[in-house]
Amino acid sequence: MADTAAKRETDTVGTDELTQKVKRARVDDENGDDGVEKDPESENILSEFKTSAVLSDSAREKTIFIHGKLGDQEAVVILEKTPIREDTLAELFTGSKLKLEMKNDIYSTYQLLAPAKFNEIKTTVVCPATEKHVKKYQRQESSLVEETGEDYKSITLPYIQKQSFSVQWVHNILDKKAETERIVFEDPDPDVGFLLLPDFKWDQKQVDDLYLIAIVNQRDIKSLRDLTSEHLPLLQNIFQKGKEAILQRYSLAASKLRVYLHYQPSYYHLHVHFTKLGYQAPGCGVERAHLLADVIQNLQSDPEYYKTRTLYFPLRAEDGLLGQFKEAGRL
């Protein structure tokens, strides 16, 4: 399913050695094994990467998704140009060389040859990558699906259960086996508590593209569909304390934040997205994002709102769930 975190099908031979080299990186992905992030190493493991195909790219977002191999393991590499930061402008202007391309009256264009440290490319490596990872990053047409409460019970939920999408990497975070140094805020309460940490899509070098994830401590809430009025204390706690933590840590007021849930989510453990208002984060469109404030109000009005409500969401052409809706005659 669109952005579904695929279970890592790990080979027993050679995997451990390669995994030691690769700093675990996640873009709304997960590891199917109990892999815990190791100390990052400076070794350039990409020198061994052999490109098979470009899955997709975006000139606007300055990203490219590449399928290939690291040794004998399938891999996906994601390259993303990092934003230009205001606090580096003076050094960027004084330390760069300009190569004139064109001049006409008051207009001129140049190639700016910046110092090496300003040419950083954020790199995410998914290895070993499964077929589901490859399809996830491949350019595909999408269709908008209409899912009733009954559709969820008869089509979506059985599909989720059959696929057994692993969230072991989420449990590693909650159990403090991985990413402990990245935790921004923690409420340890087993019922209403959560961990707040940066999403891997954010390099944390500027707040203009701030992106954090609140992962709930409860492990039996898969998505929006599971929420009832019993979960209001949890949702209200995330909403309030998440905003307070971001204000304290990043000096960003609540009025500058977009706080929402995805449906369908990228992985089936309830989590809430905090992004800076104005940043067009992936999946923040109306067809997938549900504002947390609206979710709270809906549940206050109707305790079973998301059990019965018809929800709409996009699915990509090769998503298995889309096939299930077609087979059921719902698309």
Alpha helix ranges (H) inside the chain? 15-21, 89-95, 131-137, 149-151, 157-163, 168-174, 232-250, 292-301, 305-308, 320-327
Residue 49 main-chain phi, psi, to 5 deg: -75, 130
Say whether 141 counts as a known binding-site residue. no
Low-confidence ranges of the chain (pLDDT < 50): 1-33, 37-38
Write out the E strands in the chain. 49-58, 63-70, 73-81, 97-104, 107-113, 121-126, 142-147, 185-187, 194-198, 211-216, 257-262, 271-276, 289-291, 311-316
Q: pTM to 2 decimals?
A: 0.70
Catalytic position from the list 67, 133, 231, 271: 271
If you classify domain 145-328 with CATH, what class do you get? alpha beta
Say whether 272 counts as a known binding-site residue. yes
Query: Residue 265: what pLDDT?
Result: 95
Decide if 56 contacts 65 (C-beta within 8 A): yes
Query: Residue 194: what pLDDT?
Result: 98
Query: Residue 271: what pLDDT?
Result: 98
User: In sequence order, what are the residues at sequence separation of 6 or more whose Cβ sits closer than 8 angstroms to the Cβ of residue 131?
Assistant: 6
User: In sequence order, what are the residues at sequence separation of 6 or more whose Cβ sits closer than 8 angstroms to the Cβ of residue 192?
Assistant: 233, 234, 237
Q: At CA 286, angle to CA 283 and CA 288, rounded to 5?
A: 45
Query: Is 271 assigned a catalytic role?
Result: yes
Say whether 137 counts as a known binding-site residue. no
Q: Where in the chain is the domain with CATH 3.30.200.40?
A: 49-137
Query: Residue 235: what pLDDT?
Result: 98
Residue 37 main-chain phi, psi, to 5 deg: -60, 130
Query: Residue 42: what pLDDT?
Result: 60
Q: Give me the CATH code for the 49-137 domain, please.
A: 3.30.200.40
Q: Where in the chain is the domain with CATH 3.30.428.10?
A: 145-328
Query: Residue 10: what pLDDT?
Result: 33
Say whether 269 counts as a known binding-site residue. yes
Say whether 231 counts as a known binding-site residue. no
Say whether 305 counts as a known binding-site residue. no
